[in-house]
Structures are given as C-alpha cells and as structure tokens.
A = this chain, B = another copy of it.
C-alpha cells in the first residue's frame, strides 16, 4: 500500500471528529472507562458514543448497544472488549462504515498461537476493507489539538493538555506513557501521540510518515524495537528529513541480553543493532539513549537554537565550568575555536581587565551583574565569524534571571545573532521555566547540554548533505529457500562477470588431469589453493601454500595439496594457482541481503583488525561511488588509505568506483545472496583485487 494512502487512513483516526468506545465502562479506571473520562475532563471537541449493550447511559453519555446502532458517522471506534469479541466488533464496524479502529485489547500475537491467529484475521480485515487499524495490544493515540484521548494511559491521570509541536510514535505503550507524562509535565507540549502495539495494520513507518506530513508536528520522537517494512520506513524517514523535522529515535536491543529480551517481549526478533545504527545514520535518524536525552535534543530544535555548525563560543561566569564545557564539547566532536584578532579586539573592549579574550571566555561572576558590559560581551561573541553557536554558563545567581533573559532575547532579535544555549547549574526551577517560556533552551548541567547540542548539530549537518542517491530500493526478492556457497574459483569466475573488482592472474589445475601442463603458465611468485566445496575456509586447514617462487615450488605445492585432499577424503575440483600480488592495503568487503533492511554493503579494514577492533562502515543500497568514498574516509584507519608514514596511499575515489560498480551489479542479480571478499586489496599497480572471495547464490 502506498504511504500516501496509509497517511490518509491514519489521518481519519488521528483527526477523528466522532469516536465510539466499544466495551465502554462507567468505571473511569477501567480500560473502557478511561478514554471517556479523560475526554470529558479535557474537553474533546468531537462526538463521543459509548457502546455497551447492557447500559443505556455511561459516564453521563447516551450509550448504544452496538456500532451499527449509533446511526451517525463514526470516524474511530476504540475497541476495549475481550480479545475473542474484537473480530466481530471490527467486522460489524466496517459494515457500519466506521472510519478506523483503535484496538486497545491485548491477547493477540504477543500471546501464543491462538492470539496470532486472531491477529491474522484482523490483518485480513484491514487489507480487504481498507480501514485503518491501530493495534491490537496498543495504548492508542492522543491528539492534543482536538483533545482526543483514544487511550487508557495513566499518563493522562494527573496531567492537563499542553499543546505543542512535539509528536511521538512508539512500539512500546509504557515508554510512550512516560514520554507523554514528561512532555506534558515539563511544559514542552505535545502535538500527536501514537502507539502501534502489535502493528496488524498501521506500523511505525506509517505513523512516522503521517507525522512527517502533519503541519502541527515539528519534532518527532520515536521508540522502536523492530522495523518490519524497512522500505516504507526509509521513505518516511527521508520525508521527515526533507521537511527538516528531526526524528529522535530510541532503539532498544543494543546488548545481547537486551536483544534477547526484546525478542521475547514483542514477538519480533530485533535486527542486529549495528545494522540499525547504520540505517539510522544513512537515513538521518538521530539516535538517543533515553527519554531524557530525547527531550533535551527536542528542546533545542523547538527553540530554533541549533547552530549551523560545530564551532561553539563559550561564555562562563566560572573559569572551571568554561573548561569543563570545552572538554565536553571536544569529547562530543564539537569545536571550541580560538578567536581571530577582530573578535579579540571587540572582547577586550567589553571584558574587565583580568578576563582574557580567549575561548572559552571567563567573564567571572562580576560582569554578569554589569548588564551593559555583559551585553557587549555577548554581542562581540555572537558576531564572531569563528563560531556557529554560543553556550552561556551560569551558576546559582538566581537574581539575574530576568536581566539575562532580556539580554538573550535582544541578542536573538538582532542580525548576526547566533543560537544560544544556556547551562544554568543550581538554577531554581521557576527561573529555568521562565527562560524556557521565552524560548531559550536551558539545561541543568554541562554534559546533557553539550551532548544534546552535538546530536542536534549532527542532524542539521545531515540535512545539508545532498540527498542519498535513491530513497527507493527495489522490491526485495522473496527469502531464498535454498542457497549454495560457491568455492573460491567459481565465486571468482562469477565475480569477474559482475565487474568492478578484479581477481589475480591465475591458472587452474583440475583434479581430473593432475597434469602439470598448466603450471608452465603459472604467474610467479604464486600462491596455491586447494578447491573443495568441503573446504571453504582453507587457510586454517593447510589448504593454502604461499610464496611459491619457482615453477618447481608451485608443482610441489600442487602435488601436496592434492595429497591433502586425498588424505582428508575431500571432494576436490582442483588447485587454483594465483599470482601473489604486492599490496599495502588490505580491506574486507561484504554484500548481502539483510532480512530487515535489504541489500547492504559492508566495507572495512582487513587483517587482524577485523576481529580485534572492527573498523567497518555500512551502507544500504543503492549507493553511489561518492557515498562509498565518504564511508571509506570515515574509517578509523582512513589515514592509512590516504598514505601514512612513508607507505603509499591509494586512490580512494577509484576504489569507491570499483566497489560501487560491484554493488550495482549485486543489486541487479537477485540470485546472488551474498558476496564476501576477504581480503580485498589495492595492488601496488593500482588494481583492486579480490584475493579471496566466497559467493552464496540461490539454488535452483
């Protein structure tokens, strides 16, 4: 289904003007009672229709015996009945023209085979009827603007609505509840809140796409455990990026224990975390580690206080705190550049004699109480071409809150003003609230402020990059039923037909002949490798002989390898005799079809480092040579490739073009499941050579 259509279907739910609650209860603490109680208290603007065949009135509202008995248009039916009644309720609702369903009931795929069967029937209804279904086993949704609370979340028990521009989509009801409570309680405000539960129809991708398009939403928070439709998710992420809406995502399951638990608790196996991270990086999702971190980053975006680049000017009332800020900034990949002569000159005129005009600027506690000098200092730094943004550190000093707020507002209003973030340690809550209310982001300590800035700046820089080659990837082939891994010789034969990467010069000595005829043509120095489908990883078993300098040595090695094959009783196709190419740089390259995310390239440093301290980059296909070159240059060992301490460098762009050609071929040849080249080397003569390669293909 197209995202556009999913968006319209979900919109019918989120913007519902009329809501029925099936399984409605008089008890405001029950699942079927809470939504009614919340909406009554908070003033939902649409129509509410409790449905309960046993009561004529519920919580003061007229109740109906069934959805079909309402007799008026119903945009959304909230379903809070027992699990075994849900299918019947939905079928009846579809027949009655209900616009969509929010199924709060649990007891579906998360609970054994009987539940899974119930859920499959819901999936069918959604597919056949075209109505949207949120859930089952979800915590529902909230629309702050219309005061719609299609949810039984306890987060609405004590909170009032605070309208805002921050929206949230979650695969966990509990985390969503914590977010809702925090966003309302902190005053940051909420636009839309959507929990997807078991995702029998509407999934996080659809919800993300909806929020990317929603005019009230400026910042999107997300909690995700597993992505089922990565192509839809990719398109939705890029839609948000195109609108410059940050997507701040918590992804659970980084650790082994966590991944195992995630699998057990959502009924979906969490993808390998590093692949998720690469996916987030490539498609511009900002990963955060906690709700607190999410709110911190959101605060910066909501206040339009994200600097354009990583260069920070620091102004501090405490020298020590200024140093700690600079420390944390560099730790997070930000910069604290020195000021040029003009800035130093301007600062020298505003700062007291004992303050040096150096970044970080220590204005001392005194200057803050001298408002004109303080303003001049802030002006001088805000105008500095050396920096992209300003961080101001205050400690205690509660009395200066208003003076400070006024100065910062002035600063923002004037041209040339840079985004300013305030760290106010020991600031009283009412003081911090007052500044925040004026749109100034305030943090209570240094690390959280700087980490949030670093994350936000990184995302802004992602937006400034040219858009990835293609948002769309091809429809993935159905999972392979049977696959076969080709021996090195056949893998390399196939590899040569794909283009991009060369293989070393070689001769092949077939087992059948065992003649030494071919050996006269063997390139020297050579390596000889036994070719047996039962010995794919040859080196450890002695199936590789290196450094053969003469034809006699080659012949002897070939003979020994055949003997090894006989001794081990291996099916042997022959011996591959290859040139030993001279090279400086050893890489590994993998291409595979990830079960969740589709075609994936992995490239990195080879040699012992592969397992010792992996230095790899990943990219989802399609990707062009420039994208691959950027990834090669992002490796920790990139300085080696550039030429390092007397070692020759390589042409990284040429290497990237070779890899890109192979990756494109891989995309076009759906029968290839996986290619692993280890090592991939750049020979001294510039050839990009697969010294060893294994390819896995679909069997007929």
Interface residues of chain A: helix, strand, loop or mixed (majority) = helix
Q: Does A602 contact B (CB under 8 A)?
A: no
- CB neighbours (8 Å) of A362 from chain B are 261, 264-265
- CB neighbours (8 Å) of A331 from chain B are 254-255
Are the CB atoms of B290 and A445 closer together than 8 Å?
yes
- Knowing A320-B225, A612-B639, the reply to whether A425 touches B178 (Cβ < 8 A) is yes
Are the CB atoms of B264 and A336 closer together than 8 Å?
no
- CB neighbours (8 Å) of A154 from chain B are 396-397
Bitwise, A388-418 to B at CB < 8 A (1) or not (0) is 0000000111100000000000000000000
Bitwise, A373-401 to B at CB < 8 A (1) or not (0) is 00000000000000000000001111000
- Knowing A174-B321, A320-B225, the reply to whether A646 touches B540 (Cβ < 8 A) is yes
- CB neighbours (8 Å) of A96 from chain B are none
**What is the minimal beta-carbon distance from A259 to any residue of chain B, in angstroms?**
8
Bitwise, A243-255 to B at CB < 8 A (1) or not (0) is 0000000101111
Are the CB atoms of A172 and B225 closer together than 8 Å?
no
- CB neighbours (8 Å) of A175 from chain B are 318, 320-321
Stretch in A48-56, A322-330, A621-629 touching the partner: A322-330
Which of B293, B319, B640 is the one whose CB lies under 8 Å from A174? B319
- Knowing A252-B320, A539-B646, the reply to whether A260 touches B358 (Cβ < 8 A) is yes
Q: Does A62 contact B (CB under 8 A)?
A: no
Q: Does A258 contact B (CB under 8 A)?
A: yes
- Knowing A255-B331, A646-B540, the reply to whether A320 touches B265 (Cβ < 8 A) is yes
**What is the minimal beta-carbon distance from A312 to any residue of chain B, in angstroms?**
9
Interface centre among A264, A266, A326, A362 (most CB of B within 10 A): A326
Per assembly, the copies of the chain total 2
**What is the minimal beta-carbon distance from A397 to any residue of chain B, in angstroms?**
7
- CB neighbours (8 Å) of A647 from chain B are 608
Interface residues of A in 248-303 (CB under 8 A from B): 250, 252-262, 264-266, 289-293
Are the CB atoms of A324 and B290 closer together than 8 Å?
yes
Interface centre among A174, A323, A613 (most CB of B within 10 A): A323
Q: Does A446 contact B (CB under 8 A)?
A: yes
Instruction: Name A328's closest neighbour in chain B (CB-CB).
Output: B289
Are the CB atoms of A360 and B261 closer together than 8 Å?
yes
Q: Does A181 contact B (CB under 8 A)?
A: yes
Q: Does A37 contact B (CB under 8 A)?
A: no
Interface residue tally for chain A (C-beta within 8 Å): 85
- CB neighbours (8 Å) of A319 from chain B are 172, 174, 261-262, 264-266
**What is the minimal beta-carbon distance from A597 to any residue of chain B, in angstroms?**
20
Q: Does A545 contact B (CB under 8 A)?
A: no
- CB neighbours (8 Å) of A611 from chain B are 645
Q: Does A317 contact B (CB under 8 A)?
A: yes
Are the CB atoms of B264 and A318 closer together than 8 Å?
no
**What is the minimal beta-carbon distance from A336 to any residue of chain B, in angstroms?**
4
CA distance A337 to B260 in the complex (A): 12
Interface residues of A in 411-446 (CB under 8 A from B): 425-426, 444-446
Q: Does A636 contact B (CB under 8 A)?
A: yes
- CB neighbours (8 Å) of A365 from chain B are 174
Are the CB atoms of A447 and B289 closer together than 8 Å?
yes
Bitwise, A355-381 to B at CB < 8 A (1) or not (0) is 010111010010000000000000000
Are the CB atoms of B323 and A265 closer together than 8 Å?
yes
Are the CB atoms of B645 and A324 closer together than 8 Å?
no
**What is the minimal beta-carbon distance from A180 to any residue of chain B, in angstroms?**
9
- CB neighbours (8 Å) of A395 from chain B are 174, 177-178
Are the CB atoms of B261 and A358 closer together than 8 Å?
yes
CA distance A261 to B324 in the complex (A): 10
Are the CB atoms of A330 and B254 closer together than 8 Å?
yes
**What is the minimal beta-carbon distance from A654 to any residue of chain B, in angstroms?**
22
CA distance A181 to B250 in the complex (A): 33
- Knowing A258-B326, A444-B292, the reply to whether A358 touches B644 (Cβ < 8 A) is no
Instruction: Name A607's closest neighbour in chain B (CB-CB).
Output: B645
- Knowing A265-B362, A330-B258, the reply to whether A253 touches B426 (Cβ < 8 A) is no
Are the CB atoms of B608 and A645 closer together than 8 Å?
yes
Are the CB atoms of B111 and A354 closer together than 8 Å?
yes
Which of B446, B608, B640 is the one whose CB lies under 8 Å from A608? B640
**What is the minimal beta-carbon distance from A225 to any residue of chain B, in angstroms?**
7
Are the CB atoms of B323 and A290 closer together than 8 Å?
no
Q: Does A596 contact B (CB under 8 A)?
A: no
Are the CB atoms of A318 and B608 closer together than 8 Å?
no
- CB neighbours (8 Å) of A498 from chain B are none
Which of B250, B317, B637 is the one whose CB lies under 8 Å from A612? B637
Q: Does A564 contact B (CB under 8 A)?
A: no
Q: Does A155 contact B (CB under 8 A)?
A: yes
Interface residues of A in 174-221 (CB under 8 A from B): 174-175, 177-178, 181-182, 185
Q: List 16 A-B contacts (CB under 8 A).
A: A174-B318, A174-B395, A175-B318, A181-B396, A250-B324, A255-B327, A258-B327, A261-B322, A261-B358, A262-B323, A265-B320, A265-B323, A290-B445, A292-B448, A612-B644, A613-B613
Q: Ordered nearest first, which 7 A-B pairs have the shortest CB separation?
A: A174-B318, A265-B319, A255-B330, A172-B320, A257-B336, A258-B326, A254-B327
Known: A174-B321, A177-B426. 15 other contacts (CB 8 A): A178-B426, A181-B396, A223-B320, A258-B325, A261-B359, A262-B323, A264-B356, A264-B362, A265-B319, A265-B320, A265-B362, A289-B447, A290-B446, A292-B447, A293-B447
